[in-house]
Amino acid sequence: MSKENIVVIGNGMVGCKFLAAMLQKDVDSRFNLITFCEEPRPAYDRVHLSEYFSGKTAEDLTLQPIDWYTDNGITIHLEDKAVSIDRENKKVTSAKGLEVEYHTLILATGSTPFVPPVPGIEKEGVFVYRTIEDLEGMMEHAKKATKAAVVGGGLLGLEAAKATQDLGLESHVVEFASRLMPRQVDEEGGQILKDIIESRGLSVHLNKATTDILGDGKVEGMAFKDGSQLDVDMIVVSAGIRPRDELARESGLEVGPRGGVVVNDQLQTSDPSIYAIGEVALYNNFIYGLVAPGYNMAEIVADQLTGSEAAFTGADMSTKLKLIGTDVASFGNIETTEPHKDIVITDPVKGLYKRLITSEDGKQLIGGILIGDADAYGNLLQMTLNNIELPEDPMQLILPAGSGDAPAFGPGALPDSAQICSCENVTKGDICSAIENGATTLPELKKCTKAATGCGGCAALVTNLLNHQLKEMGHEVNTDLCEHFSHTRQELYQIVRTTDIEDFDTLLAEHGNGGRGCELCKPAVASILASVHNDKVIAKHNHKLQDSNDRFLANIQKDGTYSVVPRVPGGEITPDKLIVIGEVAKEYNLYTKITGGQRIDLFGAKVNDLPAIWKKLTDAGFESGHAYGKALRTVKSCVGSTWCRFGVQDSTSLAIEVENRYKGIRAPHKLKSAVSGCTRECAEAQSKDFGIIATENGWNLYLGGNGGMKPRHADLFASDLDKETLIKYIDRFLMYYIKTADKLTRTSVWVESLEGGMDHLRDVIIEDSLGICDELDKQMQHLVDTYHCEWKDAIEDPEKLKRFRHFSNSESHDPTIKQVLERDQIRPANEEELAKA
């Protein structure tokens, strides 16, 4: 039986979602999937397009790599636009002359930016904000521009304005309406939003109708209907969208008076074999301009084509986002004509506006607006969508935390049909089913349900639902460190900080549950004590807490020998020090290897030899590299502007300074960093816990990366920083991480678990929203001032040296260690070689 062709015109987010849905549902592979993509790359994430300005690459934003298409048998025609549809012969023709027959055709052509017909709009320096190529053009033009205006004060317009500001331009927002975001906020909320945005350095111009783009061939200004002008040399148009329905029009399909391909409940066009999904589809005279309804449409069509009944009945248009550092959320019907009551909290000083729209009897929530603080969005949206009865005092729902007892409302009150994640159409029932099948963490839920993997706005609600369901299933959601401490690691950190307790026994006696401790609490407390007091990890009262690596200040290897890793700050080393390392390696017959962190590792050291080896190394000026500890490992660097013709800053000097500042500082997990001298990124800074990349104006700081088992690109935290500000922000980041992260948690996992993520970190570290920056600064300075090389301390203390023996009553080496030569160096003998020995 031959397969039927399903041709998808358009490979944007919705078109890609349809293909993924078909792969999941078409288990018998009854169809050939073919898609046309006019862009040079496959579908990418337009929701997070602005992150391209903050260091994300086109590859980072790609939804599915090109291999995904080929591996799954999907034919994708890149850089080839479909130009005609022959409905009679059911055939699509492309710009390159390719003709493809179809059984079913999916129009996922999306939309195009609306560019108002203003005289001069074609001049050099005018851009739209839609594709990666558009952004690349903006970035290039910004190098020779000084002032930019964004035409349009909606969601995308404000994002574009922030982008131009980040490019170093004086930025203006020009809006035709009387308020910003006119579809999402009311007049009062719009005024507060305007004040907030202007406080962030952007200028807002309302009630402005552009009549002319000034300049001789290139942008030099804008003229408005009221007679005023604005001097700018760059313009970004973000004045709305228009559905790309030209193919449908030309082929005779029914379109709406104002555009859009008319579809029915099954998303079929006037031709039953042609469907339309996403921003090109006109359903009940409405174009849905958000990705979540488009994803829902894609799933519904895939269901129908694979034999399931499904229908589209509209979609919720509620939104929550962070605009220029400010929470803005809108849910339900904010323009209701029904009798209703308003509950409003306004605080222009703090930049807060909260409005709840309730039914006239005050029992049901119709809609609402949240500006400045949208933490309650998840609960309020669910109450609106599921007609959950309001408490007696609904204002409690939007009062700041600590303002009174919050009314009882939680995930348990939601029906199984409640949509928790609108981007991926995940219901409470889906999440509960995943939990019943073994998902017990947020990452596991994300993996099996895809909830919170789109815009991320539902992450807090998903976490609450997870904890609620685990409790309901009889699983105690226990955050205790272990049986010996009924506290979290974060709570124990605070106890140690506030009580000045300096040893494990005292902490256990005063704040524990008795016993002697265990393999969980001992190293965790040891790390806390080191992080707070910078005490010696192998001091008498700390030594018993350590695992074998910290106990011997070296990593134990598979054959019972140890590694020796001296610190090489920034990867810079003198010939004399190289010679010392070589001499030590030859004298003690050690395996040597240059690592990815720009250090030289020496392997195969016997425990008895460690003090003598380190005596020679410390005498030569080396310090412990802390390769055995949960501490800073390395700060990798390129040669930067000192040697490289592309370098714009001295990355090596900064890497050395950073490594010397943070060396020895104990943390919940190991830390790695890097400094790149330009955006070519030779030091791979974006794969580190904190990475630094040089710009012509200073340094960009990236946080939360990880190149380990689960790689994660770090996120841009702040741009064009001077060195003093850069160091201050890193100080606070590290201390906040040490203060709040759970045991053995990498910064990448910690950042992802923070509600609010990078925006929360900016609030804490830059804006001092928690009022703790002074404490963080002082604690870091204490750790820097009290640094000590752990190996130097050890070899100068006769009592500590007694521990470095294999036999307590003899200086003999371990006789069971067997090593063989390979490539002129030693390695541990394998099982077969040991048997022959």
Per domain, the residue ranges of the chain are 4-111+243-305, 126-239, 489-546, 625-785
d(CA 277, CA 18): 9
Topology adopted by domain 126-239:
FAD/NAD(P)-binding domain (3.50.50)
Taking only the tens place, the pLDDT of each residue in 132-146 is 999 999 999 999 999
| Ranges 719-728, 750-759, 763-772: which has the least confidence | 750-759
Detail the residues annotated as belonging to a binding site for [4Fe-4S] cluster. 638, 644, 678, 682
Query: Which residue is it, tokens 């060396």?
Result: 663
Question: Are the C-beta atoms of 763 and 733 separated by less than 8 Å?
Answer: no
**What is the CB neighbour count within 10 angstroms for residue 610?**
24
d(CA 702, CA 713): 9
The alpha-helical segments, DSSP class H, found in 390-438 are: 428-436
The arrangement of strands across the sheet holding 126-128 comes to 126-128, 234-237, 147-151, 170-174, 203-205
Detail the residues annotated as belonging to a binding site. 638, 644, 678, 682
Residue 263's nearest CA partner among 247, 285, 244 is 285
* Average model confidence (pLDDT) across the chain: 89
Whether residue 482 has pLDDT greater than 80: no
pLDDT for position 547:
62
Kindly state the tokens that stand for 605: 């050291």
Domain 4-111+243-305 class, CATH top level: alpha beta
Quick one: average pLDDT of 13-27? 92
Helices (H) and strands (E) in the chain, counts: 28, 38
Taking only the tens place, the pLDDT of each residue in 447-477 is 888 887 766 667 767 877 887 888 777 776 6
Task: Answer whether 4-111+243-305 and 126-239 agree in fold.
Answer: yes
Whether residue 406 has pLDDT greater than 60: no
Query: Which residue is it, tokens 């009314």?
Result: 407
pLDDT for position 263:
97
| Ranges 116-125, 278-287, 602-611, 747-756: which has the least confidence | 747-756
Tell me the CATH number for domain 625-785.
3.30.413.10
Kindly state the tokens that stand for 321: 């986002």
Question: Are the C-beta atoms of 466 and 445 separated by less than 8 Å?
Answer: yes
pLDDT-derived band at 408, boundaries 50, 70, 90 = very low
| Contacting residues for 395 by C-beta, under 8 A, at least 6 apart | 343, 345, 356
Quick one: average pLDDT of 752-760? 82
Of 380-389, 581-590, 797-806, which one has max mean pLDDT? 581-590
| Contacting residues for 297 by C-beta, under 8 A, at least 6 apart | 14, 267, 277, 278, 281, 288, 312
Whether residue 796 has pLDDT greater than 50: yes
pLDDT for position 553:
86
pLDDT for position 403:
47
Whether residue 405 has pLDDT greater than 50: no
pLDDT for position 710:
67
Detail the residues annotated as belonging to a binding site for siroheme. 682
DSSP assigned state of 396: G
Whether residue 429 has pLDDT greater than 70: yes
Question: Are the C-beta atoms of 109 and 247 separated by less than 8 Å?
Answer: yes
Whether residue 682 has pLDDT greater than 80: yes
Of 514-523, 744-753, 809-818, which one has max mean pLDDT? 744-753
pLDDT-above-70 percentage for the chain? 95
Residue with the bigger pLDDT between 544 and 300: it is 300
Backbone angles phi, psi at 247, to 5 degrees: -65, -45
Quick one: average pLDDT of 488-505? 87
Q: Which residues are bridge partners to 635 per DSSP? A: 673
Quick one: average pLDDT of 193-203? 89
Whether residue 26 has pLDDT greater than 50: yes
Whether residue 651 has pLDDT greater than 50: yes
Whether residue 159 has pLDDT greater than 80: yes
Kindly state the tokens that stand for 419: 């949509």
Kindly state the tokens that stand for 475: 């699983």
Taking only the tens place, the pLDDT of each residue in 767-793 is 998 899 999 999 999 999 999 998 998
Query: Which residue is it, tokens 């700390």?
Result: 542
Length of the chain measured in residues: 837
Query: Which residue is it, tokens 């810079």?
Result: 572
pLDDT for position 435:
87
pLDDT for position 810:
66
Amino acid present at 818:
K
Question: Are the C-beta atoms of 7 and 34 separated by less than 8 Å?
Answer: yes
pLDDT-derived band at 100, boundaries 50, 70, 90 = very high
| 463 to 233, 439, 442, 723: CA distances (angstroms) | 46, 12, 6, 38
Residue with the bigger pLDDT between 769 and 93: it is 93
Using the Cα atoms of residue 799, residue 801, residue 802 and residue 804 in order, give the sign of their dihedral: positive
Taking only the tens place, the pLDDT of each residue in 235-276 is 999 988 899 999 999 999 999 999 999 999 999 999 999 999
pLDDT-above-90 percentage for the chain? 54
d(CA 758, CA 469): 28
What's the longest Cα–Cα distance across the chain? 96
Whether residue 833 has pLDDT greater than 70: yes
Query: Which residue is it, tokens 């348990």?
Result: 412
d(CA 198, CA 722): 24
| Ranges 90-99, 263-272, 440-449, 556-565: which has the least confidence | 440-449
Q: What is the pTM of this model?
A: 0.61
**What is the CB neighbour count within 10 angstroms for residue 781?**
12
